A and B are shown apart, each in its own frame.
Chain A
Amino acid sequence: MPEARLIDGRGMEPPEPLELAVAALGSLAPGEELVMLLNCEPLPLYAILERSGYRYRSERRSDGSNEIHIQKA
């Protein structure tokens, strides 16, 4: 199983994490996972993922940040 790619956007100025995520989606292999760490719930990213055929799962971490797992649908 390929290793997950990580974008830690917690110290980045929005919308940089969104930009990086969209750039990474294009090269995401089937079965490969993109993991994002963010301080906010990325509603615009969810909309993009739904439109572009990706599935995602979001978890709230104990420090209040969000962990989002993205894969090709």
Chain B
Amino acid sequence: MQPTLSFEQAPPISVPFRFFLTAPLFGAAAGLILAWLGPAALESRWAPGALAMTHLIVVDFMLQAMCGSLLQFVAVVAGANIWRPHLVATLVHPLITAGAVFLATAFLLEEQLLFLLAAGAFAAAMGLFLTVMALALLRTPARGMPIHVLRLALLGLLLTVVLGVTLAATLGMQESVQSVWSLLTLINVHVAWGLAGWALMLVIGVSYLVVPMFQLTPAYPPWLTRALPAGLLLVLCLWSLQLLPNLAGAQAWQSGVAVAGVLLAGLYALATLWLQARRRRRQADVTLVFWRGAMLSLLAFAVSWLAFDALPQFGNHARAPLWLGVLALPGVFLSVIIGMLYKIMPFLNWLHLQRQGGTAMPPPNMKQMIPEGAQRGQMRLHFAALALLLAAVLWPALALPAGLAFSASCLWLEWNLVGAARVYTRFRDRIRAAASQAADSARP
């Protein structure tokens, strides 16, 4: 069945745009932290700089962009009515932003109060966001695999936030929950739900729609569309069993569960690359190249994980998790997000301007809203920054150029997105001026 999109439910353009225009700025901040702290930020995954950068990327870049997109996507794809989207965005957006700034600063300064403030901001922001999303997705009449996967992704976000808020509150109060769980166990489960249960699940659900529709590929095989989310969910549930005290020691068994999850992720990447190789159009636009880069990064992540598992002399290295983190965050998720932003923002511009101008004042061409050359240049810088970040994990002396390149790529993205927003405001003003001129001349 061909999926369809409905646009009558779309919320005001300012709802998603505020999230999109904030997200890259925090990526730029993460890059500057790396440049500032240098090799110290890459000592291990537990280095304060590494934790601060990671959370700036996953919360302030990824979560911002994903929340903004979801407010739009759920209304459009699921035809679901979101309760007062403008009010929700007005509350959730500053709370996420503040929460991530508190959290990153808390890691850098090791300041307890900031962890507590971050926990409070995230609990409030995500509590509201998830309630609104859950209500919309439970009531929607829409069916189909993308909707089911979207629901699973939101469950993943809920568990990630509950575990994250627990961790931040624990660090903030210096209260240990270690009598029940070790901090490491909580972190293991938090990271797994965040990366696989939320972010990857969301990418999978979105790709079922956008890869065939926008990249003109054949559809994903139906068995795969069912097997991937179900398999991932099963792996995550088994992985979470380490929270049960009597299973805490089952290291070997847990490692097998992780390998199964990684194989599923690798299978998804291969399937997507295979479909993209069979698309009906030969010309590769920027979004397609971003998706390909993301899928190649996911494949590299899977291969690296398996290699680290087989060769403990590499896998036990303090910087091995950083290698995986760079592949997953800037490599997989930011690549997909940036590629999608270059499609979403011009399309939303066009859609909202068309509504205002009608057929009398057709909106500007979508392809001219963010110049192709600017998109391509930013994309090259993004992948160059990714390569530099991976090199900096191997040779931490490269932290300064890697951080600066990543920061520059995020700022260029911001410039391109602001340009798209300005196209919208300029044309909207022209429509308004024409309407008021017509009203003036109609007056006797």
B213 lies within 8 A of chain A by Cβ: yes
Q: Decide if the interface of chain B is mainly helix, strand, loop or mixed.
A: loop
Evaluate whether A19 and B6 lie within 8 angstroms (CB atoms) in the complex, with A13-B214, A52-B359 already known.
Answer: no
Contacts of B359 in A (CB 8 A): 22, 25-26, 52
* A43 partner, pick from B6, B285, B365, beta carbons under 8 A: B6
| Interchain CB contact under 8 A, B358 and A51 | yes
**Complex interface bits, A36-54 against B, C-beta within 8 A gives 1, otherwise 0:** 0001110110011001100
| Interchain CB contact under 8 A, B7 and A41 | no
In the complex the two chains form, what is the Cα distance from A52 to B285 in whole Å? 32
* A47 partner, pick from B7, B350, B358, B360, beta carbons under 8 A: B7
- Kindly count the residue-residue contacts between A and B in the assembled complex, taking CB atoms under 8 Å apart: 49
In the complex the two chains form, what is the Cα distance from A41 to B3 in whole Å? 8
| Interchain CB contact under 8 A, A22 and B7 | no
| Interchain CB contact under 8 A, B214 and A41 | no
| Interchain CB contact under 8 A, A40 and B3 | yes
| Interchain CB contact under 8 A, A26 and B360 | yes
In the complex the two chains form, what is the Cα distance from A16 to B4 in whole Å? 15
A15 lies within 8 A of chain B by Cβ: yes
B351 lies within 8 A of chain A by Cβ: yes
B432 lies within 8 A of chain A by Cβ: no
Range, interface on chain B: 20 to 34
Nearest CB in chain A: distance from B195 CB, A: 30
* B354 partner, pick from A13, A16, A22, A43, beta carbons under 8 A: A22
* B350 partner, pick from A15, A39, A51, beta carbons under 8 A: A15
| Interchain CB contact under 8 A, B366 and A19 | yes
B280 lies within 8 A of chain A by Cβ: yes
Contacts of B271 in A (CB 8 A): none
Residue positions of A touching B, CB distance < 8 A = 11, 13-16, 19, 22-23, 25-26, 39-41, 43-44, 47-48, 51-52, 64
Q: What would 17 A/B residue contacts be, using CB atoms closer than 8 Å?
A: A11-B281, A13-B216, A15-B347, A19-B365, A22-B362, A25-B359, A26-B359, A26-B362, A39-B2, A40-B2, A43-B5, A44-B5, A44-B7, A47-B7, A47-B8, A48-B354, A64-B2
List of 9 A-B pairs having minimum Cβ-Cβ separation, nearest first: A44-B7, A40-B2, A43-B6, A25-B359, A41-B4, A26-B359, A52-B359, A47-B8, A43-B4
Q: Other than A11-B216, A40-B4, A47-B6, give 17 A-B pairs with Cβ distance below 8 A.
A: A13-B281, A14-B214, A19-B365, A19-B366, A22-B354, A22-B362, A23-B362, A25-B359, A39-B2, A40-B2, A40-B3, A41-B4, A44-B351, A47-B8, A51-B355, A52-B359, A64-B2
